[in-house]
Chain A
Amino acid sequence: MHTIITVIKKELKDTLRDKKTLFSAIILPALAIPLLLLGVSSLQKSLIDKEKGKELKVVLMNAPEAVAQQFEDETIRLLASQNLDNAKDSVANEVFDAVLVFDSNFKKNVDSLQTGAVQLYYKSTNIMVQRRIEEKLTAYKAVVLKERMATLNIPAPVLEPVRVETINVASAKEQIGETIGGLIPYIFILFCFMGCMYPALDLITGEKERGTIETLLTVPASRFSILIGKTITIALVGVVAAVMTIAGMVIALNLGSGIPPSFMDTIGDMLSVKFILMLFAMLLPLSFFFAGILSAMVVRTSSFKEAQSYVTPMNFVVIVPAMVAMMPGIELNWQLSFVPVLNVALATKEIIAGTIHLGHFAVIVLSLIAFATLSVFISYQQFSQEKNVLK
């Protein structure tokens, strides 16, 4: 025990002085979600606003007066062009944003209660143009429809035989669980793994690369205790990374103005002591599982480069089950409770939604502890082989 604590103290001090670890385990996870949420959403918003306010250059050909009226808008500049081919080219070259060609019988058809045809030329790379033009045409359609109903003396309900009112009985908690519930575990599992990765390389392979391992093997302290001390340090950094991710998420949600207050209350409720305890009960063994696997993988490597080439593909192994959990229709059951990573992701969703089955939860925690023990055992076996430990 004394050795384990000695090793943890030393390794933590060493690790926390390393800027690379600090960045990948603490700063990056803490900033990731705030940046993602605030950055992307505000960027998207500003782009959309910019697109909306942008002046559109539109050519109307053979347009009836009533239609042209709808396009009288300060953000739309109507231009004239007589030649369709030239106009089409101009759309392709982005001189014009859109060209609308009305059928020669358009007005006649519309007036005689028939369908008038109009062709809209636009460039598909800009979806906002299409949307804005269609808005105008829809407005015109509504005007014509209203006139026709008045002429034919049709009351409005005739055209609306069914009106559906949707009432979602899922609580706000369940809705959040379903929508962002999948994303939360995905991100913290990923950062937990990445948090373990760098220290594993540094504490195991680094010791070999620097040639410090030899001296370490001549001390009377047991090799098992030394390895356990190292594994605990690696797992701790992983847990810290996951915690930082969640903390970052809480901060981001508090800053984000787009969320209705009722949802904010629910999110506040979700971050209850119970939620945090349940999350930690899974996170700890998960982190040890990662630490054990990563150590076992890198023990035989003798340089950082070599170790990285083994470990980098593992990212995918972790990402895939975490992504599967985001798919709709996948729910926690007895079988999936035994699948590491996937079980944590699914359970987190259910804990957020408040629908977690305690039996499943127990199986998850116990199976993770079993997997973590196994992975640490394998890593110890690898560590005990002299051909692995020495360069």
Chain B
Amino acid sequence: MIQVEQLSKQYKLTKKQQQELQLKTNSIFAVDDISFVCKPGRVFSLLGPNGAGKTTTLRMIATILKPSKGDVLVSGHSVVNESVEVRRKIGFLTGSTNLYDRLTPEEIVKYFADLYGMSKSDFKERKELLFEQLGINDFLKKRIGQLSTGMKQKVSIARSMIHDPQVVIFDEPTSGLDVITANSIIELIRNCKKEGKTVIFSSHIMSEVDLLCDDLAIINKGKLIYSNTMEAYRQISANQSLTETFIQLVQQNQAQ
């Protein structure tokens, strides 16, 4: 369960940045007072154009950034006051994440398991399951630098799922991947849903959203402009494609 409550992230601007952005205020809201709830066993999708604040929102949920205002409760723990508790519950994966080139898949996964403080037996059991599912055993001893993008992505998945998190956060997980590799991510999200995990992912690819998501929110310029179930969204876009509806909603918001 993720409860986002009136979440804001404000950045101070230097004089130079103010001039560049032609703003009179000395601060800017990357995320401005947004609230939504992601439920266990459901996939929540965060949509928005580039620079809308998707990554900032997900980073605040993942405790990488501190909110300026508001709070997020992850499985009942506040990201502001109980960040360590939150970190135990979450798995975080971004499309841009790289790995340590000079280590092997096994070493990387072990490193993160140790950082999560997993016991040896838990690690072994979980590792065997994940490596089997993802087919990592074929290139277990190779260094990351020698692997293909698809193989690396599989290792990234294993790395972020090793501690069996209740809540998984994916920031544009399929960006830059070919369809075959992207499919491994889609499979992963489906499995997470089956296991009753809470899943939130950001994207701007409508087909992916259509395929996977149960609830969605659209943000633009840091503000929440739409939040409902996928069912409801499909209804409002009855006469046009999902993408067209998305563009329409964003443009209406921009016109305001």
Contact = CB atoms under 8 A, between A and B. Distances in A.
Interface of A: 2-3, 6-7, 10, 13-14, 17-18, 210-212, 214-222, 226, 386, 390
A216 B87 CA distance: 11
Nearest to B98: A210
Which 8 residue pairs spanning A and B have beta carbons closest together?
Answer: A220-B87, A17-B102, A6-B114, A219-B115, A218-B92, A210-B98, A221-B115, A10-B111
Nearest to A2: B117
23 contacts: A6-B111, A6-B114, A14-B102, A14-B103, A17-B102, A18-B102, A210-B98, A210-B99, A212-B99, A212-B100, A214-B64, A215-B93, A215-B159, A215-B160, A217-B62, A218-B92, A219-B112, A219-B115, A220-B85, A220-B115, A221-B117, A386-B64, A386-B65
Which of A2, A18, A219 has the most CB atoms of chain B within a 10 A radius of its CB? A219
Contact of A218 (B64, B98, B100, B103): B64
Contact of A220 (B84, B94, B143, B159): B84
Which of B63, B64, B88, B92 has the most CB atoms of chain A within a 10 A radius of its CB? B64
A111 B160 CA distance: 101
B237 interface: no
Interface string B42-84: 0000000000000000010011111000000000000000001
B146 interface: no
Contact of A211 (B85, B92, B97, B117): B97
B117 A220 contact: yes
B102 A212 contact: no
A141 B53 CA distance: 93
A191 B254 CA distance: 58
Contacts of B101: 210
Contacts of A212: 97-100
B158 interface: no
Contacts of B92: 214-215, 218
Contact of A3 (B90, B96, B103, B115): B115
Nearest to B156: A215
B103 A13 contact: yes
Contacts of A3: 114-115
Given A10-B100, A221-B115, A221-B116, 14 more contacts: A2-B114, A6-B115, A10-B111, A18-B102, A210-B99, A211-B97, A217-B63, A218-B63, A218-B87, A218-B90, A219-B87, A219-B115, A220-B88, A220-B115
A4 to B, nearest CB: 11
A215 to B, nearest CB: 6
Contacts of B63: 217-218
B103 A217 contact: no
Contacts of B66: 386
Contacts of A211: 94, 96-98
Interface in B226-255: none
B122 interface: no
